[in-house]
Amino acid sequence: MKYTPWGNFPNTQENSVPLNWTGSPLPLVSDSCLPRGLGRSYGDSCLNSPGLLLDCTPLNHFLSFDSEQGILKAEAGVTLQEIIENTLPKGWFLPVTPGTKFVTLGGAIANDVHGKNHHIDGCFGNHVLRFELVRSNGERHICSPTENRELFRATIGGLGLTGLITWVEFQLKKVTSANIDVETIKFHNLKEFFEISEESKNYLYTVSWVDCLATGDDLGRGLFMRGQHSSDGDFSSKSVNSQSPLNVPFNLPSFLLNGLTMQAFNTLYYNKQFSKLSKSKQNYNPFFYPLDAVRNWNRIYGRNGFLQYQFVVPHESGQEVVEEIFKKISDSRMGSFLAVLKNFGKIKSPGLLSFPREGVTLALDFAIKGPEVFQLLEELDKIIISNHGRIYPAKDARMSTEMFKASFPNLDEFLKWKDPNFSSLFFRRVMGETKI
């Protein structure tokens, strides 16, 4: 079976075994296993060639739902889409959601995913009450903030390396509508972004798109979106599923994406709104999951794939770092369509290797057109590391051993809990066992 990650890089052939819930010992038949969800990680954290992938998607049963308290127990292969479709009509939404709903519960925990409400609600792991973890020696552990606490902390954000999560119990969020009241505010530079961000602290959801190719006075211009669940009591959920009619049927030729087309796109997108402020009511799908509306959108980057680069740096140096990074990108003419900027809040992630920390985070996409992109990202790494930042393993396919070790200070503690028979291409690379 050929599995590729969402960024289509690296491109490997992987062996997988589908799992079924039987309650009996799981087929941990290899000395190198890695659980796999829906492969929405961009890089090699969801790959394990030549080891075995444990395909968790057959673990797709709901086990119990307390609709008074909003507590859901489900197998780890259940997707965020399936959860929303079952719980939103009853007034309960995900406590935290990434920018796609085609993610499994196991994947959401293993990367301790974050969303537009990080400044208020923290990460997904902050809402997990318990889960079961199966180790390669057949032991089963119930893990919670109070029971097997260390294993709980190692598994949240633990990149699938501590064992197999079979089921998860977590707290949903009570909401007043499936619609979001959204305000979109145009900002002209990063100083304005930080001012609006400060003023918007009480909005549940905040996120910004930035034109990362703009230069001079326009450097750091973009659109700031902030929203709350509407009070209209409308829970009719319009589903966008994997059969969405919009599809990119094959890898597009890479020449279509160049400095000119990207600049034209960014200018048009920035100018789609004339006024400083626009207000709208949006269904949760376009608000949280705009990219899910186009199946296989990752193919627009061509057959060599793309790299996503997401970093976080502390607030103290946030504005300077983001400015410096934009200047480098703009000079390189390798800008991305997608530049997403957000302030992370104070709530600490429970995971030893969780990516989020208080500060400023920026996510960028780069088509792989040659070695220049790797060189550019190495330059960006130096800026991030010298400012005490880190990059997101779920999106990474290239960070160096030095970068990983320097930016995840709990690594040694984590390694005590890693399962000796679980591994990944990512893990072997960042531990210096293999090269890209």
The CB-of-142 to ligand FAD minimum distance in angstroms stands at 14
SS (H, E, C) the chain: CCCCCCCCCCCCCCEEEECCCCCCCCCCCCCCEEEECCCCCCCHHHCCCCCEEEECCCCCCEEEEECCCCEEEEECCCEHHHHHHHHHHHCEECCCCCCCCCCEHHHHHHCCCCCCCHHHHCCHHHHEEEEEEECCCCCEEEECCCCCHHHHHHHCCCCCCCCEEEEEEEECEECCCCEEEEEEEEECCHHHHHHHHHHCCCCCEEEEEECCCCCHHHCCCEEEEEEEECCCCCCCCCCCCCCCCCECCCCCCHHHCCHHHHHHHHHHHHCCCCCCEEEEEEEHHHHHCHHHHCECHHHHHCCCCEEEEEEEECHHHHHHHHHHHHHHHHHHCCCCCCEEEEEECCCCCCCCCCCCCCEEEEEEEEECCCHHHHHHHHHHHHHHHHCCCEECHHHCCCCCHHHHHHHCCCHHHHHCCCCCCECCHHHHHHCCCCCC
The CB-of-233 to ligand FAD minimum distance in angstroms stands at 27
β-pair partners for 340: 209, 363
- Residue closer to ligand FAD, measured from CB, 330 or 342: 342
- Residue closer to ligand FAD, measured from CB, 167 or 214: 167
The CB-of-375 to ligand FAD minimum distance in angstroms stands at 25
Q: C-alpha dihedral over 85, 89, 94, 100, to 10 degrees? A: 40
Q: C-alpha dihedral over 174, 175, 176, 180, to 10 degrees? A: 170
- Residue closer to ligand FAD, measured from CB, 80 or 185: 80
- Residue closer to ligand FAD, measured from CB, 108 or 385: 108
The CB-of-88 to ligand FAD minimum distance in angstroms stands at 19
The CB-of-100 to ligand FAD minimum distance in angstroms stands at 4
- Residue closer to ligand FAD, measured from CB, 324 or 358: 358
- Residue closer to ligand FAD, measured from CB, 16 or 263: 16
Distances (CA, A) of 351 to 117, 127, 222: 18, 12, 32
- Residue closer to ligand FAD, measured from CB, 173 or 214: 173
The CB-of-68 to ligand FAD minimum distance in angstroms stands at 28
The CB-of-49 to ligand FAD minimum distance in angstroms stands at 13
The CB-of-378 to ligand FAD minimum distance in angstroms stands at 23
- Residue closer to ligand FAD, measured from CB, 330 or 343: 343
- Residue closer to ligand FAD, measured from CB, 287 or 330: 287
The CB-of-238 to ligand FAD minimum distance in angstroms stands at 19
- Residues of the shown chain interacting with ligand FAD in the complex, contacts defined by CB under 6 A: 6, 34-41, 45-46, 56, 76, 98-100, 103-104, 106-108, 110-111, 113-115, 159-160, 164-165, 291, 394
The CB-of-16 to ligand FAD minimum distance in angstroms stands at 11
For residue 81, give both structure tokens.
Answer: 């889409």
- Residue closer to ligand FAD, measured from CB, 95 or 160: 160
